[in-house]
Protein backbone atom coordinates (compact mmCIF):
# COMPACT_ATOMS: atom_id res chain seq x y z
CA UNK A 1 0.00 0.00 0.00
CA UNK A 2 1.37 3.45 -0.93
CA UNK A 3 0.65 6.56 1.07
CA UNK A 4 1.73 9.93 -0.29
CA UNK A 5 -0.35 12.38 1.73
CA UNK A 6 1.48 14.58 4.25
CA UNK A 7 2.28 12.95 7.59
CA UNK A 8 0.23 14.90 10.16
CA UNK A 9 -0.16 12.28 12.86
CA UNK A 10 -0.45 13.12 16.55
CA UNK A 11 0.52 10.24 18.84
CA UNK A 12 -0.04 10.50 22.61
CA UNK A 13 0.55 7.90 25.32
CA UNK A 14 -0.71 8.34 28.88
CA UNK A 15 1.36 6.68 31.66
CA UNK A 16 3.15 4.37 29.20
CA UNK A 17 5.60 1.65 30.09
CA UNK A 18 9.17 2.84 29.57
CA UNK A 19 9.68 0.62 26.52
CA UNK A 20 6.53 1.98 24.87
CA UNK A 21 7.65 5.51 25.66
CA UNK A 22 11.07 4.82 24.14
CA UNK A 23 9.58 3.43 20.94
CA UNK A 24 7.28 6.44 20.52
CA UNK A 25 10.05 8.94 21.22
CA UNK A 26 12.51 7.20 18.89
CA UNK A 27 9.92 7.12 16.12
CA UNK A 28 9.13 10.81 16.59
CA UNK A 29 12.80 11.79 16.60
CA UNK A 30 13.49 9.75 13.45
CA UNK A 31 10.59 11.49 11.69
CA UNK A 32 11.89 14.89 12.85
CA UNK A 33 8.57 15.53 14.57
CA UNK A 34 7.94 17.78 17.57
CA UNK A 35 8.29 15.48 20.59
CA UNK A 36 7.30 16.16 24.19
CA UNK A 37 7.58 14.01 27.32
CA UNK A 38 6.46 14.73 30.88
CA UNK A 39 7.52 12.73 33.90
CA UNK A 40 9.80 12.24 36.90
CA UNK A 41 13.41 12.79 35.85
CA UNK A 42 16.90 14.00 36.67
CA UNK A 43 18.90 16.29 34.37
CA UNK A 44 22.67 16.35 33.80
CA UNK A 45 24.59 18.79 31.62
CA UNK A 46 28.24 18.51 30.56
CA UNK A 47 29.89 21.13 28.38
CA UNK A 48 31.39 24.55 28.96
CA UNK A 49 30.17 24.05 32.52
CA UNK A 50 28.47 21.22 34.41
CA UNK A 51 25.16 21.15 36.22
CA UNK A 52 22.75 18.67 37.78
CA UNK A 53 19.07 18.74 38.67
CA UNK A 54 17.74 16.25 41.17
CA UNK A 55 14.59 14.22 40.70
CA UNK A 56 11.45 16.16 39.82
CA UNK A 57 8.44 16.28 37.47
CA UNK A 58 9.45 18.14 34.30
CA UNK A 59 8.30 18.73 30.75
CA UNK A 60 10.85 18.15 27.96
CA UNK A 61 10.41 19.26 24.36
CA UNK A 62 12.55 18.16 21.39
CA UNK A 63 12.10 20.24 18.25
CA UNK A 64 12.77 19.09 14.66
CA UNK A 65 15.66 21.58 14.31
CA UNK A 66 17.59 19.88 17.15
CA UNK A 67 16.54 22.19 19.98
CA UNK A 68 15.71 20.65 23.37
CA UNK A 69 14.00 22.48 26.25
CA UNK A 70 13.49 21.34 29.85
CA UNK A 71 10.70 23.12 31.76
CA UNK A 72 9.53 22.96 35.37
CA UNK A 73 6.09 24.09 36.55
CA UNK A 74 7.36 27.63 37.19
CA UNK A 75 8.49 30.50 34.98
CA UNK A 76 8.55 31.05 31.25
CA UNK A 77 12.17 30.08 30.61
CA UNK A 78 13.53 26.52 30.47
CA UNK A 79 15.79 25.42 33.31
CA UNK A 80 18.02 23.58 30.80
CA UNK A 81 18.24 23.72 27.06
CA UNK A 82 20.32 22.98 23.97
CA UNK A 83 20.25 25.06 20.75
CA UNK A 84 19.33 24.01 17.19
CA UNK A 85 21.64 21.54 15.48
CA UNK A 86 21.86 18.98 18.30
CA UNK A 87 21.35 15.24 17.84
CA UNK A 88 18.74 13.51 20.03
CA UNK A 89 18.88 9.84 21.03
CA UNK A 90 16.72 7.79 23.39
CA UNK A 91 17.42 4.44 25.06
CA UNK A 92 16.54 2.30 28.04
CA UNK A 93 19.02 2.03 30.92
CA UNK A 94 19.36 -1.28 32.69
CA UNK A 95 19.41 -1.42 36.47
CA UNK A 96 20.51 -4.20 38.74
CA UNK A 97 19.69 -7.79 37.77
CA UNK A 98 19.12 -6.65 34.15
CA UNK A 99 15.93 -4.83 35.04
CA UNK A 100 15.02 -1.74 33.05
CA UNK A 101 14.49 1.18 35.37
CA UNK A 102 15.09 4.35 33.37
CA UNK A 103 14.45 6.03 30.05
CA UNK A 104 17.40 8.18 28.92
CA UNK A 105 16.89 11.07 26.50
CA UNK A 106 20.19 12.59 25.41
CA UNK A 107 20.97 15.64 23.30
CA UNK A 108 24.51 16.26 22.05
CA UNK A 109 26.35 18.68 19.82
CA UNK A 110 29.95 18.66 18.67
CA UNK A 111 30.89 22.36 18.41
CA UNK A 112 31.29 23.12 21.22
CA UNK A 113 31.09 19.67 22.81
CA UNK A 114 27.97 19.61 24.99
CA UNK A 115 25.65 16.94 26.30
CA UNK A 116 22.27 17.24 28.00
CA UNK A 117 21.05 13.98 29.54
CA UNK A 118 17.51 13.60 30.91
CA UNK A 119 16.86 10.37 32.81
CA UNK A 120 13.20 9.45 33.41
CA UNK A 121 12.26 6.94 36.08
CA UNK A 122 8.56 7.50 35.38
CA UNK A 123 6.83 8.79 32.27
CA UNK A 124 3.35 10.29 32.61
CA UNK A 125 2.80 11.41 29.03
CA UNK A 126 4.54 11.26 25.64
CA UNK A 127 3.29 13.16 22.59
CA UNK A 128 4.55 13.29 19.02
CA UNK A 129 3.27 16.02 16.71
CA UNK A 130 4.17 15.53 13.03
CA UNK A 131 3.58 18.56 10.87
CA UNK A 132 3.34 18.73 7.10
CA UNK A 133 6.30 17.17 5.30
CA UNK A 134 6.83 18.69 1.87
CA UNK A 135 8.47 15.48 0.68
CA UNK A 136 6.08 12.73 -0.37
CA UNK A 137 6.50 9.64 1.78
CA UNK A 138 6.09 6.23 0.31
CA UNK A 139 5.22 3.54 2.82
CA UNK A 140 5.18 0.16 1.15
CA UNK A 141 5.62 -3.29 2.61
CA UNK A 142 7.55 -4.02 5.79
CA UNK A 143 11.15 -4.24 6.94
CA UNK A 144 10.89 -8.02 6.59
CA UNK A 145 9.86 -7.54 2.95
CA UNK A 146 12.89 -5.30 2.49
CA UNK A 147 15.15 -7.91 4.08
CA UNK A 148 13.82 -10.64 1.74
CA UNK A 149 14.32 -8.38 -1.25
CA UNK A 150 18.02 -7.88 -0.42
CA UNK A 151 18.59 -11.55 0.44
CA UNK A 152 17.05 -12.60 -2.88
CA UNK A 153 18.95 -9.97 -4.89
CA UNK A 154 22.07 -8.88 -2.94
CA UNK A 155 23.29 -6.72 -5.83
CA UNK A 156 20.49 -4.28 -4.97
CA UNK A 157 22.70 -3.24 -2.07
CA UNK A 158 25.88 -3.19 -4.13
CA UNK A 159 27.65 -5.39 -6.64
CA UNK A 160 29.47 -8.28 -4.96
CA UNK A 161 27.67 -8.10 -1.62
CA UNK A 162 27.22 -11.53 0.03
CA UNK A 163 24.71 -11.91 2.91
CA UNK A 164 26.02 -14.22 5.64
CA UNK A 165 23.47 -13.92 8.45
CA UNK A 166 20.30 -12.16 9.58
CA UNK A 167 19.64 -10.96 13.13
CA UNK A 168 23.33 -11.42 13.97
CA UNK A 169 23.75 -10.79 17.70
CA UNK A 170 26.06 -8.02 18.94
CA UNK A 171 26.43 -6.38 22.36
CA UNK A 172 24.50 -3.43 20.91
CA UNK A 173 21.61 -5.54 19.58
CA UNK A 174 20.76 -7.70 16.58
CA UNK A 175 22.02 -6.65 13.15
CA UNK A 176 19.37 -6.88 10.40
CA UNK A 177 21.76 -8.29 7.79
CA UNK A 178 25.43 -9.15 8.22
CA UNK A 179 27.59 -9.91 5.21
CA UNK A 180 30.75 -9.25 3.23
CA UNK A 181 31.53 -6.96 0.31
CA UNK A 182 33.50 -7.92 -2.78
CA UNK A 183 36.76 -7.13 -0.95
CA UNK A 184 35.92 -9.42 1.97
CA UNK A 185 35.18 -6.60 4.42
CA UNK A 186 32.47 -7.09 7.03
CA UNK A 187 29.25 -5.19 6.32
CA UNK A 188 26.49 -4.26 8.78
CA UNK A 189 23.15 -3.46 7.12
CA UNK A 190 20.41 -1.65 9.03
CA UNK A 191 16.95 -1.70 7.40
CA UNK A 192 14.19 0.91 7.72
CA UNK A 193 10.91 0.91 5.82
CA UNK A 194 10.48 4.69 5.73
CA UNK A 195 12.32 8.00 5.75
CA UNK A 196 14.65 8.10 8.76
CA UNK A 197 16.57 10.61 10.83
CA UNK A 198 19.61 10.76 13.13
CA UNK A 199 18.34 8.10 15.54
CA UNK A 200 18.70 5.39 12.87
CA UNK A 201 22.24 6.57 12.09
CA UNK A 202 23.20 6.40 15.76
CA UNK A 203 21.76 2.87 15.95
CA UNK A 204 23.86 1.77 12.96
CA UNK A 205 26.97 3.36 14.45
CA UNK A 206 26.48 1.38 17.67
CA UNK A 207 26.27 -1.87 15.70
CA UNK A 208 29.43 -1.08 13.73
CA UNK A 209 31.34 -0.15 16.89
CA UNK A 210 30.18 -3.33 18.64
CA UNK A 211 31.28 -5.57 15.76
CA UNK A 212 34.65 -3.85 15.48
CA UNK A 213 35.21 -4.65 19.15
CA UNK A 214 34.12 -8.28 18.63
CA UNK A 215 36.35 -8.81 15.62
CA UNK A 216 40.13 -8.39 15.61
CA UNK A 217 41.62 -4.98 16.26
CA UNK A 218 42.29 -4.01 12.63
CA UNK A 219 38.93 -5.22 11.31
CA UNK A 220 37.29 -2.88 8.81
CA UNK A 221 33.51 -2.91 9.34
CA UNK A 222 31.29 -0.99 6.94
CA UNK A 223 27.88 0.26 7.97
CA UNK A 224 25.10 0.71 5.41
CA UNK A 225 21.71 2.23 6.22
CA UNK A 226 18.96 1.11 3.83
CA UNK A 227 15.73 3.15 3.68
CA UNK A 228 13.59 5.00 1.14
CA UNK A 229 15.22 8.30 2.18
CA UNK A 230 16.99 10.10 5.03
CA UNK A 231 16.69 13.59 6.49
CA UNK A 232 19.36 16.22 5.89
CA UNK A 233 20.58 15.88 9.48
CA UNK A 234 20.84 12.11 9.12
CA UNK A 235 22.78 12.49 5.86
CA UNK A 236 25.30 14.78 7.56
CA UNK A 237 25.65 12.37 10.46
CA UNK A 238 26.26 9.44 8.11
CA UNK A 239 29.08 11.38 6.48
CA UNK A 240 30.56 12.40 9.83
CA UNK A 241 30.70 8.76 10.99
CA UNK A 242 31.93 7.29 7.70
CA UNK A 243 28.69 5.35 7.20
CA UNK A 244 26.81 4.78 3.94
CA UNK A 245 23.26 5.05 2.66
CA UNK A 246 21.40 3.08 0.01
CA UNK A 247 17.95 4.25 -1.06
CA UNK A 248 15.67 1.23 -1.35
CA UNK A 249 12.00 0.57 -0.63
CA UNK A 250 10.26 -2.65 0.39
CA UNK A 251 8.36 -4.22 -2.50
CA UNK A 252 4.76 -3.11 -2.95
CA UNK A 253 2.13 -5.59 -1.82
Looking at the predicted structure, is the pLDDT value of residue 98 above 70?
no
> Which structural domains are found in the chain, ordered by start?
10-129 (2.70.180.20), 143-247 (3.40.1350.10)
pLDDT (tens digit per residue) in 212-245: 888 876 778 999 999 988 888 888 999 999 999 9
- C-alpha separations of 135 from 5, 122, 141, 244 in Å: 9, 36, 19, 21
* DSSP label of 217: T
Percent of the chain surpassing pLDDT 90: 51
Looking at the predicted structure, is the pLDDT value of residue 29 above 80?
yes
Sorted by sequence, the CB contacts under 8 Å of residue 62 that are 6+ apart come out as 28, 29, 34, 35, 36, 68, 88, 105, 107
Q: How confident is the model at residue 18 (pLDDT cuts 50, 70, 90)?
A: very high
* CA neighbor of 51 nearest in space, from 18, 82, 6, 84: 82
Q: How confident is the model at residue 96 (pLDDT cuts 50, 70, 90)?
A: low
State the pLDDT at residue 239: 93
Averaged pLDDT for residues 45-58: 90
Looking at the predicted structure, is the pLDDT value of residue 55 above 90?
yes
- Residue 28 to residue 69: CA distance in whole angstroms: 16
- Residue 206 to residue 113: CA distance in whole angstroms: 20
Amino acid sequence: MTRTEPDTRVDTLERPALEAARETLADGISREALVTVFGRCTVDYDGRASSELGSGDRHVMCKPDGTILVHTDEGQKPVNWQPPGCEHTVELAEGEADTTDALVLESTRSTPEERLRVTFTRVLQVSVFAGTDETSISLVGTEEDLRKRILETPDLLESGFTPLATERATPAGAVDIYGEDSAGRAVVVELKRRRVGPDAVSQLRRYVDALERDLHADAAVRGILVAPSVTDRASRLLSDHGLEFVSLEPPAE
